[in-house]
């Protein structure tokens, strides 16, 4: 009887598993940048700011005349090919003065907001982290500063310090401290209760190290937004002080001072005040649009 050949059983077919690629995790800043460039309003604000920076950096090339050169025979000339935006009461080219005035505006915005940010971050961080009587003292001083209108407080400070562009920037910087202090304090109050801060305390890290290396770096998003919005406000306040004669002094081509010098000829030569006013409007609008877009982009609730 012939032997029946034995065949090994074939293993059951295992269905092929499809591997799904895990999405790459992106950081908060990359997500914020992608949302920022997709926003039309913030993109327009960014273009205005970049234009301001380019004009300020290339002022000697962009300007057509010396901003302080006086030509009394060319007083109140209307806009023409020789003077694109006309001339003022001393025959100075308005276009060139506006171009050089962008440097002053950037200087005012950066220095004034820098003063506000440094003092406000320190006060808000200390008040929010340590709390108790330190928080009460700091915040009551902040409340007193916020009780005064900002422009009136700036005028009072400049009146005490003396009328000059430097003192105007110091005054505007002091006036802007409460906004930074309150924002940083509220952020620190929420950040200091997180798990990694508790872990840092558990391993014996000192309070100074926790505050400056762990707490404040996680408050950067609202600080950056507030700084961007404050630059436009600082430029506007400085123009107001210069218009009152408390800021930049002649012959500085500051936009607020140009408005003050040309107000006497508002009806006969409106271009003397129209173009400096338009420059202030565009710069403040640019920083406000960019700041609003940056605030929306850095909002973690919008992250999908």
In a domain, 23, yes or no: no
In a domain, 212, yes or no: yes
In a domain, 72, yes or no: no
In a domain, 178, yes or no: yes
Per cent of the chain over pLDDT 70 is 88
In a domain, 13, yes or no: no
Backbone CA torsion sign across 271, 281, 147, 106: negative
Residue 210 has pLDDT above 90, yes or no: no
Q: For residues 279 and 104, give the distance between their C-alpha atoms in angstroms, rounded to a whole number.
A: 13
The CATH number of whichever domain residue 223 belongs to comes to: 1.10.3720.10
With left for phi above 0 and alpha for psi between -120 and 50, is residue 65 left, alpha or beta? beta
Q: For residues 279 and 233, give the distance between their C-alpha atoms in angstroms, rounded to a whole number.
A: 14
pLDDT in tens, 103-113: 999 999 999 99
Residue 179 lies in domain = 28-65+84-302
From 180, 48, 56, select the one nearest 112 (Cα to Cα): 180
Across 265-279, average pLDDT? 91
In a domain, 78, yes or no: no
Long-range contacts of 279-282 (CB under 8 A, 24+ apart): 279/98, 279/101, 279/102, 279/255, 280/235, 280/236, 280/239, 280/255, 280/256, 282/48
From 105, 91, 124, 44, select the one nearest 242 (Cα to Cα): 105
| Range of 32-36, 199-203, 219-223 with top mean pLDDT | 219-223
Contacts (Cβ under 8 Å, ≥6 apart) of 303: 28, 31
Number of domains in the chain: 1
Other beta carbons within 10 angstroms of residue 144's beta carbon come to: 10
Among the residue ranges 42-46, 141-145, 197-201, 300-304, the one predicted with the least confidence is: 300-304
Model confidence at 1, pLDDT cuts 50, 70, 90, reads very low
In a domain, 198, yes or no: yes
Q: For residues 271 and 268, give the distance between their C-alpha atoms in angstroms, rounded to a whole number.
A: 9
Global pTM value: 0.83
In a domain, 283, yes or no: yes
Q: Please say whether the beta carbons of 10 and 255 come within 8 A.
A: no
């Amino acid at each position: 009887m012939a032997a029946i050949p034995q065949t090994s059983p074939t293993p059951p077919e295992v269905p092929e598993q499809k591997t799904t690629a895990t999405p790459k995790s992106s950081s908060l800043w990359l997500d914020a940048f992608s949302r920022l460039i997709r926003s039309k309003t913030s993109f327009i604000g960014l273009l205005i700011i970049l234009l301001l920076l380019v004009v300020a950096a290339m002022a000697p090339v962009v300007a057509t005349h010396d901003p302080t050169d006086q030509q009394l025979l060319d007083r109140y000339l209307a806009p023409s090919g020789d003077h694109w935006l006309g001339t003022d009461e001393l025959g100075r080219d308005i276009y060139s003065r506006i171009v050089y005035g962008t440097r002053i505006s950037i200087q005012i915005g950066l220095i004034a907001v820098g003063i506000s940010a440094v003092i406000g971050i320190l006060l808000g961080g200390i008040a929010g982290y340590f709390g108790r009587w330190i928080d009460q003292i700091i915040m009551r001083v902040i409340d007193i500063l916020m009780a005064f209108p900002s422009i009136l407080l700036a005028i009072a400070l400049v009146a005490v310090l003396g009328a000059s562009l430097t003192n105007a920037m110091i005054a505007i910087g002091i006036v802007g401290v409460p906004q930074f202090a309150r924002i940083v304090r509220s952020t620190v109050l929420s950040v200091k209760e997180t798990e990694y801060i508790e872990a840092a305390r558990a391993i014996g890290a000192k309070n100074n190290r926790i505050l400056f290396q762990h707490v404040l770096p996680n408050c950067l998003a609202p600080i950056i937004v507030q700084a961007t919005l404050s630059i436009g406000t600082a430029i506007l306040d400085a123009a107001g002080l210069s218009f009152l004669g408390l800021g930049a002094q002649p012959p500085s081509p500051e936009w607020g001072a140009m408005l003050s010098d040309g107000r006497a000829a508002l009806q006969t030569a409106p271009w003397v005040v129209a173009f400096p006013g338009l420059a202030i409007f565009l710069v403040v609008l640019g920083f406000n649009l960019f700041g609003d877009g940056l605030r929306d982009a850095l909002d973690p609730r919008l992250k999908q």
